[in-house]
Amino acid sequence: MSDAFSSSSPFTPGPSALWHNHLRALGSPNSLPAIRQMVEEAAQRAGLCDEDVMKIEMAVGEACTNIIEHSYATQASSAPDSQLDIDVVVIRFSDRFEVVIQDYSSINFAITEAETFGELDDWIATGRRRGLGIWIIQSFVDKVEHRFVCGQGNELKLVKFCS
Amino acid sequence: MNAIAEDITIVKELKIEHAEAPVGGKDVHILRLEGYVDAHTFAEFEEELTRLTDKENQFNLLLDLEKLTYINSTGLGLLMATFRQVRQHNGDLVIAKMSDKITNIFNLLGFSRLIHTYPSEQEALARFAPSEAPA
């Protein structure tokens, strides 16, 4: 378990973190640009190359879109507004850049176990319009970790190692 | 060091400018995208593309992506579906002036192998001109 998960809250990473930043946004499509911008700027500050910045920005964008469109959409009418936030924490460690995404859904959305197509050519050949997002999350970062805590929500960690 | 969403100013959402250019007896429809395509703006992008293809049966499309800053998986899926659709109707979908960032996405996903991209609208339009028969 990493420093981010071993702390009492993902918003206060362990002592080995060089720096971190935290954004709390409403779980709505309107929040996506701000989340992406925060992640993009943090990834640049962490020293990732342009391609890796783009990859982690896309992976986070897809993960947050899944929360909004799948996890939150089904419970939006019943949950109080305070339950519909998304917390995004970016953390720079000496050897890696991590993004921890916390939602407050009652649905266990295990992206690490979601089925996806094998090769991109398979997706292109089938003519499907959906399904690319999960592939991007699983393929555009070096490590994906997920945990679901009943009564709390999903915590998704996306990691890019720094050379 | 914390931030809240309200602290960050997002300048553009999605603006789509539509133009037409006659090339070799065809009407090429040019869509100039400015801003980003994500869950917030996807419906607008989809509406514009499906209006042209499904309602108006226009299958010669040129997308100018010079000012597109981001496109999500759903937008990319729509692009690929539209590309397949126009090809099935003997049309084409080509792209002009992609930024380095969008070019990177296209390369990583293999879209560049299928969809032709050009550095300028003029060069992209030439794609629709009938090729000269060999002498």
Residues in CB range of B104: below 8 A, 6 or more apart: A50, A51, A54
- Cβ of B73 within 8 Å of Cβ of A34? The answer is no
Please, what's the largest Cα pairwise distance for chain B? 69
d(CA B117, CA B110): 13
Interchain CB contact of B133 with A (< 8 Å): no
Contact residues of A toward B, CB < 8 A: 19-26, 29-38, 50-51, 54-55, 57-58, 61-62, 65, 68-69, 120-121, 124, 127-133, 135-136
Eight-class DSSP state of A14 = -
- Cβ of A29 within 8 Å of Cβ of B38? The answer is yes
User: Would you list the domain boundaries of chain B?
Assistant: 13-126
Span B36-67, pLDDT tens digits: 999 999 999 999 999 999 999 999 999 999 99
Res. B115: pLDDT tops 90: yes
Eight-class DSSP state of A8 = S
pLDDT, chain B, mean: 89
Phi, psi (degrees; rounded to nearest 5) at A22: -135, 135
Q: Give the CA dihedral B77, B26, B67, B4, nearest 10 degrees.
A: -40
Eight-class DSSP state of B70 = E
- Cβ of B1 within 8 Å of Cβ of A21? The answer is yes
Average of per-residue pLDDT across A46-70? 96
Nearest CA in chain A to B9: A34
pLDDT, chain A, mean: 86
Which domains does chain A show, CATH number per domain? 3-161 (3.30.565.10)
Res. A69: pLDDT tops 50: yes
CATH number for the domain formed by residue range(s) B13-126: 3.30.750.24
Res. B6: pLDDT tops 50: no
Which residues of B fall within a CB distance of 8 Å from A130? 74, 77
Q: What is the ipTM of this complex?
A: 0.84
Interchain CB contact of B107 with A (< 8 Å): no
